[in-house]
Amino acid sequence: MSKDYYSVLGVPKTASQAEVKTAFRKLAHKHHPDKGGDANKFKELNEAYQVLGNEQKRKQYDQFGSSAFSGGGGSGGFDFSGFQQGGFSGGGMDFEDLGDIFGGLGDMFGFSSGRSDRGGTNRRGSDMEAILSIDFLEAVFGVTKEILLEKNVVCSKCNGNGAEPGAKIETCKTCNGKGRVLKTQRTIFGAMQVEAVCQDCQGEGRTYTEKCSKCNGIGIHKGEEKIKVKVPAGIDNGEAIRLTGKGNAGMNGSASGDFILRIRVNPSKDFRRDLYNIHTKETISVRQAILGDKINVKTIHGDIILKVPEGTQSGTIFKLKGKGVKKLRGGGEGDHFVELTVNIPKTISRKDKKVLEDLDI
């Protein structure tokens, strides 16, 4: 009897390849045996996807039904002949599918993403993060800070190679320096030939007669490092600086991680920053507002004289061009905006009151 693979995956016959793939991934996660699912249902899903996930096989299925695939290699009509050191080929399921389904379930089948370094084992050092608090003007003009990091550092005794000084280092005979070996495993799909980490060299591709006594053969140990960080002028609160290779050292000579420094800018009592512009407020008297005057204004670049014209209204904003913060990208500077507030006295003398009455304003 012909099997209805579309019903198995819960998709219509008009479903696109992307929709078929999405449906399979969702159901495969749900019914995976290692997650408490039904092994038979999981095999049925894979059988359906092996056909519908391949455009050529799907056309054959639509024309002849599942009988066109009976007697195929592997278990339940699966074809595992294309799985050799790189992923599935010719079976409708690509490497990414397997990584998504089995991800987080351990190295059950020895699948490798191909993104790893020496020996197929990714030993790159982990990234580090920290927060650096700086003053307002330090953010505006830039500053250099010295930071002490506690992290994994390259072993000073073996220089990161993991071998005791004087020990003999050889290419691993089991994996011939590759760090990974082919092995046959029995799975719910049947026997599969998979790649796995070499147990003799732990994926390093080499062996030595004696491990380093300081780092126990991993090439790193806990330590401290002082680094100088140049904080660029114009950086703002919440922005980050990435220092490549300044994170934790990698195992056995692998690359170090990065150090990410997030900037926290302490607020200023004198200035308010908006991107690259500066805002301040100044108070003037009624006389200054009416007759005009010159007042002293404090900016991040020093004090300047601002000319207040006659008849200035409270709330008037003046722009001091180029007196703001240096732009971090693109060059140039922002502006400084000064808002003037006219101070209206709550009480005045009789003499002043008479003058105002005579002015009739």
Question: What one-character DSSP code corresponds to residue 320?
Answer: E
Distance linking the first and last C-alpha atoms of the chain: 102
Alpha-carbon distance 85 to 80, whole Å? 12
Strand, helix or coil at 186?
A: strand
Is 90 flagged in the annotation as binding?
A: no
Is 215 flagged in the annotation as binding?
A: yes
Is 173 flagged in the annotation as binding?
A: no
Is 16 flagged in the annotation as binding?
A: no
Question: What one-character DSSP code corresponds to residue 158?
Answer: T
Beta carbons within 10 angstroms of residue 360's beta carbon: 5
Instruction: Evaluate the CA torsion angle 113, 117, 254, 175 in order and state its sign.
Output: positive
Alpha-carbon distance 152 to 63, whole Å? 61
Task: Give the residue from 219, 221, 197 showing the smallest Cα distance to 208.
Answer: 219
CA 149 and chain centroid, separation:
21
Is 279 flagged in the annotation as binding?
A: no
Alpha-carbon distance 223 to 151, whole Å? 6
- H or E segment at 306? strand 302-308
- Beta-bridged to residue 259, according to DSSP, are 128, 243
Is 309 flagged in the annotation as binding?
A: no
Query: Angle, nearest 10°, between helix axes 17-31 and 39-52?
Result: 170
- Beta-bridged to residue 297, according to DSSP, are 304
Q: What CA–CA distances, in Å, run from 62 to 12, 245, 297, 316, 335?
A: 12, 54, 81, 76, 69
Is 238 flagged in the annotation as binding?
A: no
Is 158 flagged in the annotation as binding?
A: yes
Alpha-carbon distance 129 to 149, whole Å? 10
Beta carbons of 29 and 90 less than 8 angstroms apart: no
Annotated binding site for Zn(2+): 155, 158, 172, 175, 198, 201, 212, 215
Annotated binding site: 155, 158, 172, 175, 198, 201, 212, 215
